[in-house]
Structures are given as structure tokens and as C-alpha cells.
Amino acid sequence: MRDAASQTHLPAAPGIGYKPQHFTAIMQDAGRVAWLEIHAENYMGDGGRPLAQLRHLAEKFPISVHGVGLSIGGEAPLDPDHLARLKHLMGWLNPASFSEHLAWSTHDSHFYNDLLPLPYTDASLQRICDHIDQLQDTIARPMLLENPSSYLAFAESTWSEPDFLAEIARRTGCGLLLDVNNVFVSATNLGFSPQGYIDAFALAHVGEIHLGGHDTDADEHGRPLLIDSHGREIADPVWALLDYTLARSGPRPVLVEWDNDVPDWPVLEAEAARAAAALERIPA
């Protein structure tokens, strides 16, 4: 069993999800932002401005590569072309970390551009571990696997999500990426305690924490249905859940994700500063 520290070289400090419109601001003064996360698939072109910007950023900041298209939870084998693209990106960039999702997005060679849910069964566990083994062999380093935000459950599931993730980490040596907004969203949507989820989570394996904003909707019974939209400020109960988590995990790299209706840099930097404050007030 590996310690989380060996799966990522990110600092236990705030990072943000990089958006090209912030390039100049970040290069001038990144404020409290100590590292950046990019979506792997946006940097798989052959050249041009995206790769040029990334080369500049990587000279100044630790980079976390976050994949959104590998479909680790897919029933089909991993796409060898996509694995080769990931290997190429990881090879030339040599980032501080690589992470992907407990989800699937490709079926029958169609890519649905969303993180789709899967049942937690012995069969899906085996398949995911095989895929992670294959990925880790390909990129020659351990990855972090992120917990999803859920809107529904599978009647066939036999594992709880924290146990399922812990077992994957145990079998494959991968680390975990704990998205506390996803925990809050799933807990609200599926009626469990977010603190109870954190208590059950294998925090020693957590190499990175994610934060993001969510939207509020309702299901047909009038119960709240939170949507993981990444389009606004992080909600107060999610900040509280971050404090709860950090008090138990100790300092970790903490990322602010804001992917839609992206604000000007100062708004994003202020969220990162709030994450910095949370890291600073961890009880000794």
C-alpha cells in the first residue's frame, strides 16, 4: 500500500483549473494560486497556442493533468489511441500529477462528453482495476481516481462508494482524488451524510482535493437535486465540508474548479485564497 504522497508531486496548497483567458493574469501575478490543473484532452492537438501556453505555464507552475475522456469505467476496453495520446502528453510535459474519474464517457466508440455513472459491483470493480493497471503501466506512474457526483444509484450495487474506491486503491496502488463538492452533491441527492462519507473515505490515499460550485434543482417529488455545474462560487456547506475533511486528512493540494460562466481572474483567485485560508487553519 502506497502513501498518497508518492502518487502526486503537487504542493499542499491551492490550485485552480486553468482557463486560457486567464493566461496573462496568471503569468503576471497568480496571487495565492500555487499550481494549475489542465484537462488533458484540450492539449492533445499537434501545436498552436494551447501547447505554447502550456509550455510557458509549466516553466512557472506545477501542473496537474486531469483527464476527462478515458472512460475508465467503460464496459469496453480502453481506447488504445487515447492511451497513446495520454502517454505522449505525460511524456513531454512530465506533470506533477495525473488524475481521472470513476465514470465512463465512451460507449460503442461514441464519446458522450459527460461523466456517466456505474454500478459498484465485483464485476465493475475488476474491470476498473484492470483499466487502471493498464493506464498506470502506459504512463509509468500512479494516477489519482476521483469520486463522482451522483444523481441516481444502481439497484445492483453491492459496494458503498468509499469502500469501492478504497478497494481500487488497494488493488492498483492508485491514489484518490476527493471532490468534496461531489460528496456534498451526491449526499444531498441520495440522502446520506456527507460527513459520514468523509469518515468512511480512505483519506490516507487522497493525493488531491477538488472544490467547485453546484446548481440547485428539484426532482419530481420536490426533493432537492443538486447539479455539479462548476459554474459559480463554491457553496458555504462545501467550504465547511472542506474544513471537516482537512481536519482529518491533514494538508492536501486543493483545487478550485470553475468551468462554465468562467469569471474574471480576481474572482477565481479569491476562491483560491479562501482555500489557502482553509489550509492555514487546519488544527495542529
Partner 1 sequence: MSVSQADFTRALMDAGQQVPDGLVDQHGQPAGRRFDVYRNNVAAALTEAMHTAFPVIAKLLGKQNMDGLAGLYLRQHPPASPLMMFYGEDFPAFLEGMEQLRHLGYLGDVARLELALRRAYHAADAAPIAPEVLGQLGAEALMRTRLRLAPAVQVLRSPWPVHAIWRFNTESCAPAPQPQAQDVLITRPEYDPLPQLLPPGGAAWVAAIQAGGTIGTALEAAAEDQQDFDLGATLTLLLQGGAITGLDNKG
Q: What's the closest the beta carbon of residue 276 comes to partner 1, in angstroms?
A: 31
Best CA proximity match to 147, nearest among 172, 117, 121: 117
Instruction: Supply the DSSP symbol for 16.
Output: E
Q: Which is nearer to partner 1, 39 or 141 (CB)?
A: 39
Contact status, residue 195 vs residue 240, Cβ threshold 8 Å: no
Q: What's the closest the beta carbon of residue 24 comes to partner 1, in angstroms?
A: 14
Q: Which is nearer to partner 1, 41 or 179 (CB)?
A: 41
Contact status, residue 188 vs residue 15, Cβ threshold 8 Å: no
Q: What's the closest the beta carbon of residue 239 comes to partner 1, in angstroms?
A: 24
Q: Which is nearer to partner 1, 136 or 158 (CB)?
A: 158
Q: What's the closest the beta carbon of residue 11 comes to partner 1, in angstroms?
A: 29
Best CA proximity match to 125, nearest among 163, 94, 88: 163
Q: Distances in Å between the alpha carbon of 85 and those of 34, 81, 120, 264?
A: 27, 6, 29, 31
The sign one gets for the Cα dihedral 233, 177, 198, 102 is: positive
Q: Which is nearer to partner 1, 106 or 172 (CB)?
A: 106
CA 239 to chain centroid, in Å, comes to 17
Q: What's the closest the beta carbon of residue 210 comes to partner 1, in angstroms?
A: 18
Q: Which is nearer to partner 1, 219 or 264 (CB)?
A: 219
Q: Which is nearer to partner 1, 59 or 114 (CB)?
A: 114
Q: What's the closest the beta carbon of residue 83 comes to partner 1, in angstroms?
A: 11
Q: Which is nearer to partner 1, 152 or 267 (CB)?
A: 152
Residues at the contact surface with partner 1, assessed by CB under 8 A: 41-42, 44-52, 68-71, 74-75, 79, 81-82, 85, 104-114, 116-119, 151-156, 189-192, 217, 219-220, 225, 227
The SS3 assignment for 167 reads helix
Best CA proximity match to 145, nearest among 181, 113, 97: 97
How do strand 110-116 and strand 175-179 relate by DSSP bridges? Answer: unpaired
Q: Which is nearer to partner 1, 5 or 152 (CB)?
A: 152
Q: How many residues does the chain have?
A: 284
Angle at 135 between CA 179 and CA 87, to 5 degrees: 105
Cell numbers 492555514 label which residue? 280
Neighbours of 100 (CB within 10 A): 26
Contact status, residue 165 vs residue 125, Cβ threshold 8 Å: no
Q: What's the closest the beta carbon of residue 47 comes to partner 1, in angstroms?
A: 4
Q: What's the closest the beta carbon of residue 221 comes to partner 1, in angstroms?
A: 8
Contact status, residue 257 vs residue 210, Cβ threshold 8 Å: yes
